[in-house]
Amino acid sequence: MEDKTRIAQISCGTEYSGVQAKLNEVADRSGIKLIYPEVELEDVADAVSEFGYLAKSPGLNLMIARAKSVVEDPSVTDGIFLLTCFKCAEGSIVKNEVRKYLQQKTDLPVVTYSTVDQVKEGGLMIRFEALKTLVTRKTLLMRTRQEGITMGVDSGSSTTKCVIMKENEIVGTGWVPTTDVIQSARKVMDLALKEAGMKEENIEAVAVTGYGRHTIGDEIKADLVQEELTVNSKGAAYLADRQRGEATVLDIGGMDNKALTLNNAIPDDFTMGGVCAGASGRFLEITARRLGVDISELGKLALQGESRSIQMDSYCSIFGIQSLVSALGEGSSKEDVAAAACRSVAEQVHEQQLQEIDLREPIIEVGGTALIEGLKAAFEEILGFDIIVPPYPQFAGAVGGALIVSAFVK
């Protein structure tokens, strides 16, 4: 169909991985037409020479030449889907350098992926949807300053958040555990309005994101209903004052996690989900309850403990808690148990989620768990990077929504 978004597939190995048919099928369902930038074989050597990296694999050199072809004429495509086989050492290097090259030389959105023979449809679909959003809502996402009076509502799996912004300042917030999706949204909106000293009619535009976005969006007639990847990216980069250049956003939520890599506050790769609740805020909540402390105290407690003094036999939330209970029974201190729980979450996120993306500095930690100081410290120790926790980290999605939707303010 003519109105499909054209996305250039720049890849190596997809045909021989047996995934090309799946790529085409999912792209088609997402309203995307995959195209392959044209390259003459005799131009490959020149392209590689100019790029500066001669790969041993001719398929990767062809990738470089295709990237150069897009740089020379970006009008051939609306965005780029860049992929190589998972765990290909040379492929991973070329993919990363080609991504930087494309982002430096063009304004096209780039999303990356590593293929395995059994590709997960969900992972592909969300990337194509994000590419589609990045193309069709580009002007919205380029907004770096909030204007007028706007509201962002983030309906998360564990908590619902609301932020009201006025002329680039946060003037009201609301936060409640998610129960009924609409009632929870109404509650946080009331809380934020009360704090801001405003009435609903003062709000000029509303954005909704998170799991319940469609239900709430219909109920309150939101101006913008947006998936959380792009909104959280914008919110995190805005709060951390890192809207230009590269960054990684770690969003450890109550039930699922996101790790997103950004270029100029626009996401270009991400990993979502998590294998087990043991890698989420819920595990830390259970730990806090078992230790008899409030979740807000767990982080400070962890900073005083020594995480390595407790052997965690499993990352599973159930067996993980058993390890911690056993440690308490054997006389370990609360501080050590809190530190071990934080380290366990950080290790699992690192080993099972961050394997799929290339980390870029600075790392911005958002989500409710960013307020747990011990988790930040555990990530810093494991990753070897300083981590930024911006103000209002738990409201990143709502802030991103309020920021973007200010484009609707007349």
Partner 1 sequence: MKVLIYPPNSLILADLVERRGHEAIVLMKEVAKKVRDPELDSPPMNITEEDLKRSLKYLSVEEPSGVRGRVGLMIPLLDDAEAAIIVEDPDPSFGCMACDVANDYIEYMIRSKGIPTLIVPYPYTEDAAKVMVQNVTDFLRSLRS
For partner 1, the binding residues (CB under 8 A) are 52-56, 86-87, 89-90, 92-93, 95-97, 114, 354-359, 361, 383-385
In the bound state with partner 1, the residue whose beta carbon lies nearer, of 71 and 93, is: 93
In the bound state with partner 1, the residue whose beta carbon lies nearer, of 198 and 357, is: 357
In the bound state with partner 1, the residue whose beta carbon lies nearer, of 92 and 215, is: 92
Q: In whole angstroms, how close is the CB of 384 to partner 1 at the nearest point?
A: 3
Q: In whole angstroms, how close is the CB of 54 to partner 1 at the nearest point?
A: 7
3-state SS, the chain, equals CCCCEEEEEEECCHHHHCCHHHHHHHHHHCCEEEECCCCCHHHHHHHHHHHCCCCCCHHHHHHHHHHHHHHHCHHHCCEEEEEEECCCHHHHHHHHHHHHHHHHHCCCCEEEEEECCCCCHHHHHHHHHHHHHHHHCHHHHCCCCCCCEEEEEEECCCEEEEEEEECCEEEEEEEEECCCHHHHHHHHHHHHHHHHCCCHHHCCEEEEEECCHHHHHHHHCCCEECCHHHHHHHHHHHHCCCCCCEEEEEEECCCCEEEEEEECCEEEEEEEECCCHHHCHHHHHHHHHHHCCCHHHHHHHHHCCCHHHCCCCCCCHHHHHHHHHHHHHCCCCHHHHHHHHHHHHHHHHHHHCHHHCCCCCCEEEECHHHHCHHHHHHHHHHHCCCEECCCCHHHHHHHHHHHHHHHHCC
Q: In whole angstroms, how close is the CB of 166 to partner 1 at the nearest point?
A: 38
Q: In whole angstroms, how close is the CB of 269 to partner 1 at the nearest point?
A: 10
In the bound state with partner 1, the residue whose beta carbon lies nearer, of 91 and 390, is: 91
In the bound state with partner 1, the residue whose beta carbon lies nearer, of 297 and 358, is: 358
Q: In whole angstroms, how close is the CB of 354 to partner 1 at the nearest point?
A: 6
In the bound state with partner 1, the residue whose beta carbon lies nearer, of 292 and 384, is: 384
Q: In whole angstroms, how close is the CB of 268 to partner 1 at the nearest point?
A: 13
In the bound state with partner 1, the residue whose beta carbon lies nearer, of 49 and 136, is: 49
Q: In whole angstroms, how close is the CB of 5 to partner 1 at the nearest point?
A: 27
